Amino acid sequence: MERNRTCMEVATSGFIETGNIMVIPLFEGLSKSPNNATTGLGRSASIAVKSAISSEAYSGEIGESLRIWTKNCQIILLGLGKQKDLTTKISRDNGAKCFASLSKKHGTQIVIRFTTGWKVDMMAAFTEGFILRDYTFEKYQNKDQEDKGPWSLICQTIDRYQKDLNKEVIKSSSIATGVHLARDLGNEPANRLYPEEFGKRALEWAKGKKSVEVEVWDYERLRKEGMYALIEVGKGSIHKPCMVFFRLNPDKEINSEVPCIVGKGITFDSGGISIKGSAGMDEMKLDMHGSATVFGLFQALYATGHKGRINGITCMAENMPSAEAYRPGDVIDTYSGKTIEVLNTDAEGRNVLADGLWKAGELNPSYIIDLATLTGSIVVALGHEATGLFSNNQSLSQKIKKIGDEVDEISWPMPMLPAFEKQMTSSKIADVRNQGKGRWGGASQAAGFLKQFIQKRENSEGENTQIPWAHLDIAGTAGIWGGENNATVGHGATGVQVRLLHRLITQN
Ligand code: BES
Ligand code: MN
Ligand code: ZN
């Protein structure tokens, strides 16, 4: 059984306790110790802090960190650079890095002292860095360590800011339960988390929660519904595919359009008959991060008490070679009625999404967003710094871009060029083909393919137009395997786009 993830306990107060670990983030150019920095410390500790801050040796430059050891409390003076240069990203990342450097050896009570110059949004981001980084995936390690219990965190600020800051940090830690859940799912090995198991966990999660509903369509049901794109991808594995429906507040707003979020859930992508090379193939256990983000998002929305209705769909399959696997050259039927010529069984994500996206179109959505670790090409284009953002709707795309910047889950707009759609619809024997004509623009080819499965409907002007849709290619941002730089994640699944989508959905 999975234990429920809870985040570190976070509270806000004035400058009272000192904790076992006291972090004092400071700006550059201080000539003397700010008010409140030393409240509650003993005489000698106070003197040590004051003289460190005013000494020439300490400048408050970004990344500079000075530790002062006193009897009951380890004090960390952390440089944050010039106040005018501080952004939420710098603040969050430095909070995360600071947290990563802590050890429970000296106690688990952290106090962060926000003294002169700190505003609520920057304090909230700094604290969020601590919360997000407080994550490990150790369930398969037999570590012989005594459990020192969870961290607790107190954010200290002046009275005037306490209420607002408290609201923000409580929200951050609620959302983080979703981020951490998405990481847990992403980090699970493929022999432990396969389509049916994902469905089981979703059902278990929904149990006892009045505002959520989960439904799983198994292999039989998929066949009855005609979802052969999902079936074909998954039928080569002994773990059969399924589709999971997430519904938050299903009884509310039943006559209005609400968002639908769709996730690619390939629990392992071997490439199938078009098998991948062995280098780095283990990372393909993460090929279900789109579905992990959807699950994590629903947890985040639930934990923050979101009142609106929202739909989620995850397309779960394992892409394996076997005597029963689909092959290059096959033509498959999809839920939409369109046929796909399979040119490469490793371009499987787009196939499973074809059925998920068409289904999403039936749910009267205000917009559809899909998340998928879809192409190696997007990693070539954007590295690990940004998610690729494709859309048929400028206003939706702009909103996503803007929020991505705000929460530092950057989503970079890529063009939807007609030439790529043309490539993907130029099969000689089927309606669409699952691979383009060459290797150039692979991420755009994939997006051009997906667009064929977005339904049209009449808009308010009486025109027949496609439902607003955005596709997030998270192949480069879903995982940290070494070398990459991501302050808020140590290793493995990142939980990317839970925070972005949570803000997008809740901001109105
Ligand atoms: N899951 C992969 C894409 C991927 C690559 C995710 C690297 C994460 C890191 C996807 O299913 C895939 O294999 N895509 C192919 C498509 C090609 C065969 C048309 C690719 O991008 O090479
Ligand atoms: Mn693949
Ligand atoms: Zn894949």
Measure Cα distances from 129 to 29, 91, 377 in Å: 24, 8, 30
Three state DSSP letters for 400-432: HHHHHHHHCCCEEECCCCHHHHHHHCCCCCCCE
Atom of ligand 1 nearest to the CA of 344: 18
Q: What are the DSSP calls for 144-171, one per residue?
A: --------EEEEE--HHHHHHHHHHHHH
Given the residues 5, 119, 171, 276, select the one marked as catalytic.
Answer: 276
Residues 246, 202: contact at Cβ < 8 Å? Answer: yes
With H, G, I as helix, E, B as strand and everything else as coil, classify residue 359: helix
According to the model, what pLDDT value does residue 483 have? 65
First-residue to last-residue Cα distance in the chain = 37
What gap in Å lies between CA 473 and CA 417, rounded to an integer?
A: 16
Q: How far is CA 412 from the centre of its chain?
A: 15
Query: Is 113 a residue of the active site?
Result: no
According to the model, what pLDDT value does residue 57 have? 81
Q: How far is the CA of 370 from the centre of ligand 2 (A)?
A: 17
421 HSE (CA, 13 A, CB side): 12
Q: How far is the CA of 403 from the centre of ligand 3 (A)?
A: 27
Nearest ligand atom owner, CA of 342: 1
**Residue tagged 């192949």 (tokens):** 475
- Residues, CB within 5 angstroms of ligand 2 (ion): 269, 346, 348
Atom of ligand 1 nearest to the CA of 443: 21
According to the model, what pLDDT value does residue 2 have? 40
Nearest ligand atom owner, CA of 436: 1
Query: Is 276 a residue of the active site?
Result: yes
Nearest ligand atom owner, CA of 272: 2
- Atom 17 of ligand 1, nearest CA residue: 347
Contacts of 48 (CB under 8 A, 6+ apart): 68, 70, 75
What the chain holds in terms of domains, given with CATH numbers, is 9-179 (3.40.220.10), 188-506 (3.40.630.10)
Q: Where are the alpha helices (DSSP H) in 329-416?
A: 349-361, 376-382, 394-407
Q: How far is the CA of 344 from the centre of ligand 1 (A)?
A: 11
Given the residues 133, 201, 350, 433, select the one marked as catalytic.
Answer: 350
Nearest ligand atom owner, CA of 270: 2
Q: Where are the alpha helices (DSSP H) in 55-105?
A: 88-100
Q: How far is the CA of 466 from the centre of ligand 2 (A)?
A: 27
Which sign, positive or negative, has the C-alpha torsion 190, 196, 200, 205?
positive
Phi, psi of 311 (to 5 degrees): -115, 145
Pick the closest to residue 392 from 413, 422, 361 (CA basis): 413
What gap in Å lies between CA 293 and CA 246, rounded to an integer?
A: 12
Phi, psi of 297 (to 5 degrees): -60, -45
Atom of ligand 1 nearest to the CA of 286: 8
Task: Give CA torsion, residues 142, 143, 147, 152, to 10 deg.
Answer: -100
* Residues belonging to the chain: 508
- Atom 22 of ligand 1, nearest CA residue: 376
According to the model, what pLDDT value does residue 482 have? 79
What gap in Å lies between CA 370 and CA 380, rounded to an integer?
A: 20
- How much is the pTM? 0.97
- Tens-digit pLDDT profile for the chain (508 aa)? 344 556 899 999 999 999 999 999 999 988 889 989 999 999 999 999 999 999 888 899 998 999 999 988 999 999 999 999 999 999 999 999 999 999 999 899 999 999 999 999 999 999 999 999 999 999 999 986 677 899 999 999 999 999 999 999 999 999 999 999 999 999 999 999 999 999 999 999 999 999 999 999 999 999 999 999 999 999 999 999 999 999 999 999 999 999 999 999 999 999 999 999 999 999 999 999 999 999 999 999 999 999 999 999 999 999 999 999 999 999 999 999 999 999 999 999 999 999 999 999 999 999 999 999 999 999 999 999 999 999 999 999 999 999 999 999 999 999 999 999 999 999 999 999 999 999 999 999 999 999 999 999 998 899 999 999 999 999 999 999 876 789 999 999 999 999 999 999 999 6
Tell me the average pLDDT of the chain: 96
Q: Which two tokens stand for residue 404?
A: 């991505």
Residues flanking ligand 1, CB < 6 Å: 269, 287, 344, 346-349, 373-377, 379, 435, 442, 475
With H, G, I as helix, E, B as strand and everything else as coil, classify residue 138: coil
With H, G, I as helix, E, B as strand and everything else as coil, classify residue 349: helix
Exposure class string for 360-387: b at 16+ Cβ within 10 A, else e: bbebebebbbbbbbbbebbbebbebebb
Pocket test for ligand 1, best of 374, 434, 473 (most atoms within 8 A of CB): 374
Angle at 118 between CA 115 and CA 120, to 5 degrees: 125
According to the model, what pLDDT value does residue 5 have? 58
According to the model, what pLDDT value does residue 3 have? 45
